Amino acid sequence: MRSTPETPPDIYHPADGLSYLFLDFNAYFASVEQHDHPKLRGRPVIVTPLKSEYTGAIAASYEAKVFGIKRGTKVRDARVLCPDIAVMPARHDRYVAMHKILMQEIERHLPPVKIYSIDEAAYRLSRSERKPAPAIETARRIKRALADNVGPALRASIGLAATTLLAKLAAERVKPDGLTVLELDDLPGRLADMPLTDIPGVGAGVAARLARAGVTDFTELWNLQPKHARAIWGSVMGERFWYGLHGYDTADEPTKKSMIGHSRVLTKDHEPPDRARIVARALLLKAASRLRHYEMHAGGLSVSLRLRPEGRWEARRRFIHSQDSFRFLKSLDEMWADYLEYRQADNGATRIGGVTVYLHGLAKPEDMAMQQGDLFASAASEQSNDKRARLWRAVDRMNADQDAKFRKLSGAGLSAPHRKQIGLASQSGLDLNYLGAKIAFARVPDEAEFLY
Ligand SMILES: [Mg+2]
């Protein structure tokens, strides 16, 4: 049954029937090996990251699972459990190429909503397909097309439900080659036996926090209120999870932001490029802070300079999605160097009358699960991105506290001349090595350099 919170935020609406089809390829890497090597079909196969008896399998075919072999089983142990096992070294390029072929085939039947990983994706059903009978017919048609047009070795489990989260949980129910319909009326009973850590969005950390809040099984999770979920998760992700679990959709979110930016007309003092650059950097830091507030990541930066006496200079850069102000500042500096070159060609006659910076290509973390090239992204670089994002969020919080104090004092009619924002040392004219591990912060004495 759908449970209704008192006032769901605008962006959520009750989903209309079985809106999503979630497709999860079974033992994907092993299946690609069976597809490419027909002799391996129907046989126990494991895929390993390197040629070693001590490495763990990164995939095991269903025929291997029968022997108790699974992801993580050491090659040496797998040979003991099943002397007949075929051990195949991983071919990541091939798995990516095959992924594209499979996605193309499915897209002939349904529009994709989100590609979650190399072997998982969600698709939207049309209005006429959202009842169980037509939804199941569409799912069967996709399974037939995959078998006939790509190959019978590449089987998938399909889930049909009101939201992408529920459709994924439905797909998890039957493996391999499953086809499961999960309706809201079946909940929470139908998933009562599901371990919490099997649910996407419930990692070990969240599971521990849930346990501390007394939530140890699916039914108790189901019975939470959205606000409580938000508190347990420690972010808006908890609320989003709650709505997804209870059949509320956000897919047609009308207010989806596509860019965040700031603009400033410059006074005469700030017309010279080195002064205008400080303003551009401050505008960018402000935009980055708002980006993090919305829990979004940006994939590009645009800069537009209004020139005096006339004209405009514009530049645009793209980068891997990030929340990291250092990355954004580095991109700005590269563009600024281009501008200085342009200006030199102009004999330095122009002055800067206005600055606009925009972060664009905005995405939420769940939209970024699989950008091409990130499939096998280095964990180290992700970790350092994560660390930096946390660092910047800490800075955002400190600055917000300062703002709140300032507003309180001003509101009480007291003067508060000493509001200080935390910024980069380079904002006060010092140089900063962006790429180095050393991150320099300083209280910036000159408030005027910061724009609110
Ligand atoms: Mg899979």
Fold of 13-25+95-249: Alpha-Beta Plaits (3.30.70)
Going from the C-alpha of 366 to that of each of 10, 197, 228, 245, 422, the distances in angstroms are 20, 18, 21, 15, 30
Query: How much distance in Å is there from the Cα of 28 to the middle of ligand 1?
Result: 6
Segment of 194-198, 305-309, 414-418 carrying the highest mean pLDDT: 194-198
Q: What's the CA gap between 232 and 257, in Å, rounded?
A: 26
Query: How much distance in Å is there from the Cα of 162 to the middle of ligand 1?
Result: 21
Query: How much distance in Å is there from the Cα of 261 to the middle of ligand 1?
Result: 39
pLDDT single digits (tens) 430-452: 333 222 222 222 222 222 223 32
Query: How much distance in Å is there from the Cα of 176 to the middle of ligand 1?
Result: 9
Query: How much distance in Å is there from the Cα of 119 to the middle of ligand 1?
Result: 5
Does the pLDDT value for residue 79 go beyond 70? yes
Cα–Cα nearest to 135, from 214, 285, 20: 20
Query: How much distance in Å is there from the Cα of 120 to the middle of ligand 1?
Result: 6
- What is the residue-wise DSSP string for 84-130? T-EEEE--HHHHHHHHHHHHHHHHTTS-EEEEEETTEEEEEPPGGG-
Does the pLDDT value for residue 371 go beyond 90? no
Does the pLDDT value for residue 378 go beyond 50? no
Is 409 or 194 the better-scoring residue by pLDDT? 194
Query: How much distance in Å is there from the Cα of 216 to the middle of ligand 1?
Result: 26
| The pLDDT of residue 366 | 64
Is 407 or 335 the better-scoring residue by pLDDT? 335
Fold of 28-91: MutS, DNA mismatch repair protein, domain I (3.40.1170)
| The pLDDT of residue 187 | 95
Is 41 or 372 the better-scoring residue by pLDDT? 41
**pLDDT band at residue 115, thresholds of 50, 70 and 90?**
confident
Q: Of 7-11, 15-19, 52-56, 119-123, which range is least confident?
A: 7-11
Query: How much distance in Å is there from the Cα of 26 to the middle of ligand 1?
Result: 5
Query: How much distance in Å is there from the Cα of 246 to the middle of ligand 1?
Result: 24
Mean pLDDT value of segment 200-219: 92
Q: Where are the domains of the chain?
A: 13-25+95-249, 28-91, 259-409
Q: Of 247-261, 343-357, 391-405, which range is least confident?
A: 247-261
Query: How much distance in Å is there from the Cα of 207 to the middle of ligand 1?
Result: 22
Decide if 1 contacts 184 (C-beta within 8 A): yes
State the alpha helices, DSSP H only, in 160-310: 164-173, 204-212, 218-222, 226-233, 236-245, 273-293
Does the pLDDT value for residue 261 go beyond 90? no
| The pLDDT of residue 196 | 95
Does the pLDDT value for residue 244 go beyond 50? yes
Beta carbons within 8 Å of 31's beta carbon, 6+ residues apart: 25, 61, 153, 154, 155
Mean pLDDT value of segment 399-413: 63
Query: How much distance in Å is there from the Cα of 157 to the middle of ligand 1?
Result: 8
Q: Which residue has the tokens 């994002």?
A: 389
- Residue 435, sorted as left (phi over 0), alpha (psi -120 to 50) or beta, turns out to be alpha
Domain 259-409: which CATH number of 3.30.1490.100, 3.40.50.1370, 3.40.605.10, 3.50.30.10: 3.30.1490.100
* Structure-token pair, residue 86: 């075929």
Query: How much distance in Å is there from the Cα of 172 to the middle of ligand 1?
Result: 9
DSSP, collapsed to helix, strand or coil, labels residue 204 as helix
What mean pLDDT value characterizes the chain?
82
Asked if 13-25+95-249 and 259-409 have one fold, the answer is: no
Query: How much distance in Å is there from the Cα of 171 to the middle of ligand 1?
Result: 10
* Structure-token pair, residue 20: 């999503």
**pLDDT band at residue 413, thresholds of 50, 70 and 90?**
low
Does the pLDDT value for residue 414 go beyond 80? no
Is 444 or 375 the better-scoring residue by pLDDT? 375
- Residue 72, sorted as left (phi over 0), alpha (psi -120 to 50) or beta, turns out to be left
Query: How much distance in Å is there from the Cα of 155 to the middle of ligand 1?
Result: 10
Query: How much distance in Å is there from the Cα of 325 to the middle of ligand 1?
Result: 35
Q: Which residues surround ligand 1, an ion (CB under 5 A)?
A: 24, 119
Query: How much distance in Å is there from the Cα of 267 to the middle of ligand 1?
Result: 58
| The pLDDT of residue 387 | 75
Mean pLDDT value of segment 295-306: 89
